[in-house]
């Protein structure tokens, strides 16, 4: 089926009381694997491309310096591939921009084919955040594209997103923000953290989630709450990476139990990135240890060299630069590259499959309405009439 906007899926999470995992992808093989594992569990799927992931998919290997043109190209490339996969899939699929940096980045994603976008104005003053987010909502909703905003600041590092300290979301300001902007969902700060180093035994402030949802219900406002920085960082994968020659230290995530307890409080979308990165990196290290002759392969040997050079890294983008045609277009020129693609796909499925069941979206695909962007644009005219 065609890709759908995020709003119908959010409405399903709200009505049927489950959470939908949203999984970041940085390569065609990752996108394909995310869709396939969701099909296996009969769950709708949210694929996320972060702002700088679009730059990477546009061929910018130093993605932290990606230009707008890089992002435009990357958005088109990944959207086209996800669209192809979605058309032959029996489940609803959403392609969502994660941490849109500014209006131009959001516009590039929408023009490229994204069906949902996030604008991250959390570093701005409240009124500036409202103004920027409302501008994005007006532009996106006219095209049937859903919008996520953010209020409150998460500590940690993820691509260009960085903060040393968290600022918890004020529930009353969250309600005001949703009312003024018309966002479909709102990322809040309640104790999660970007990156792999979240600290041991993190306890989420679920009372913040409860307060926001109670206030939204009282005001008769729709707005699903989003949990960013929610990777679980499985310790068995971290330990395996280190036993295979890596050096990943101080890597601890949010426990699955903490995340599951936040779902009935009002969390409906849960973002996960680091878990996938770890599983893919572990698989590549394991492959080269199992097949040492491949360390000298003309097509993938440089991947091994990068793994050895950067032992403390676990973002596959650091290691996959020697096979950018495969990353960007899914081309598989030989059996050695095919083996790396298998490492990528199996790692994604391992990380994502368990979370689909834990978050409760398994079997829920038939509950999500199949709405086109044109149909959603007409609905938004009524929803946004007072904006």
d(CA 20, CA 37): 14
Residues of the chain with pLDDT > 90, as a percent, come to 88
Phi, psi at residue 228, to the nearest 5°? -90, 170
Q: What is the value of pTM for the model shown?
A: 0.94
**Alpha helix locations (H) across the chain?**
7-16, 28-40, 51-57, 68-87, 103-112, 126-141, 171-181, 206-218, 235-243, 256-262, 274-290, 301-309, 316-319, 324-329, 335-359, 373-383
Averaged pLDDT, 90-119: 96
> So what's the pLDDT on residue 195?
57
Averaged pLDDT, 355-374: 97
Selection from 350, 351, 345, 352 nearest residue 326 by Cα: 345
> So what's the pLDDT on residue 158?
47
Of 51, 98, 184, 273, which is the active-site residue? 98
Give the model confidence (pLDDT) of 12-61 as tens digits.
Answer: 999 999 999 999 999 999 999 999 999 999 999 999 999 889 999 999 99
Give the model confidence (pLDDT) of 18-27 as tens digits.
Answer: 999 999 999 9
pLDDT at 157 over 70: no
Q: Please, what is the average pLDDT of the chain?
A: 93
Residue reference for tokens 């650091």: 318
Residue 304, token pair as written in the block: 């091994």
Note whether 317 and 281 are within 8 A (CB): no
Averaged pLDDT, 143-166: 69
d(CA 15, CA 11): 6
> So what's the pLDDT on residue 1?
80
Better-scored residue on pLDDT, 160 or 77 = 77
Indicate the DSSP class of residue 167. B
Residue reference for tokens 């893919």: 280
Has 98 been annotated as catalytic?
yes
Q: How confident is the model at residue 166 (pLDDT cuts 50, 70, 90)?
A: low
Q: How confident is the model at residue 156 (pLDDT cuts 50, 70, 90)?
A: very low
Residue 79 CA from chain centroid, whole number: 14
Q: How confident is the model at residue 159 (pLDDT cuts 50, 70, 90)?
A: very low
């Amino acid at each position: 089926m065609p890709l759908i906007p995020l709003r119908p899926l959010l409405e399903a999470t709200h009505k049927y009381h489950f959470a939908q995992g949203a999984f970041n992808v940085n390569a065609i093989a990752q996108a394909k694997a995310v869709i396939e594992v969701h099909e296996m569990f009969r769950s709708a799927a949210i694929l996320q491309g972060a702002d700088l992931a679009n730059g990477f998919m546009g061929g910018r290997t130093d993605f932290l310096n990606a230009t707008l043109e890089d992002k435009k190209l990357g958005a088109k490339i990944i959207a086209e591939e996800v669209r192809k996969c979605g058309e032959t899939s029996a489940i609803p699929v959403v392609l969502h921009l994660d941490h849109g940096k500014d209006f131009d980045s959001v516009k590039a994603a929408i023009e490229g084919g994204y069906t949902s976008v996030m604008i991250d104005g959390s570093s701005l003053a409240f009124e500036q955040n409202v103004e920027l987010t409302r501008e994005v909502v007006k532009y996106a909703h006219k095209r049937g594209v859903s919008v996520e905003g953010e209020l409150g600041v998460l500590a940690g590092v993820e691509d260009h997103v960085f903060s040393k300290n968290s600022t918890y979301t004020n529930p009353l300001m969250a309600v005001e923000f949703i009312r003024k902007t018309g966002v479909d969902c709102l990322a809040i700060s309640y104790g999660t953290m970007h990156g792999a180093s979240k600290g041991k035994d993190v306890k989420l402030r679920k009372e913040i989630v409860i307060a926001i949802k109670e206030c939204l219900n009282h005001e008769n406002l729709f707005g699903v709450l989003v949990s960013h920085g929610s990777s679980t960082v499985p310790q068995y994968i971290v330990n395996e990476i280190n036993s295979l020659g890596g050096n990943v230290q101080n890597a601890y995530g949010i426990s699955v139990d903490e995340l599951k307890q936040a779902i009935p409080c009002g969390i409906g979308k849960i973002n996960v990135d680091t878990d996938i990165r770890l599983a893919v990196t572990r698989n590549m290290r394991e492959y080269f240890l199992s097949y040492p002759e491949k360390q000298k392969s003309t097509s993938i040997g440089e991947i091994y060299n990068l793994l050895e050079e950067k032992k403390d890294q676990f973002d596959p983008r650091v290691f996959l630069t020697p096979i950018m045609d495969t990353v960007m277009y899914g081309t598989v020129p030989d059996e050695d590259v095919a083996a790396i693609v298998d490492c990528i796909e199996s790692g994604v499925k391992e990380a994502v499959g368990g979370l689909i069941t834990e978050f409760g979206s398994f079997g829920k695909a038939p509950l999500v309405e199949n709405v086109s962007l044109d149909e959603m644009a007409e609905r938004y005219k009524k929803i946004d009439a007072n904006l």
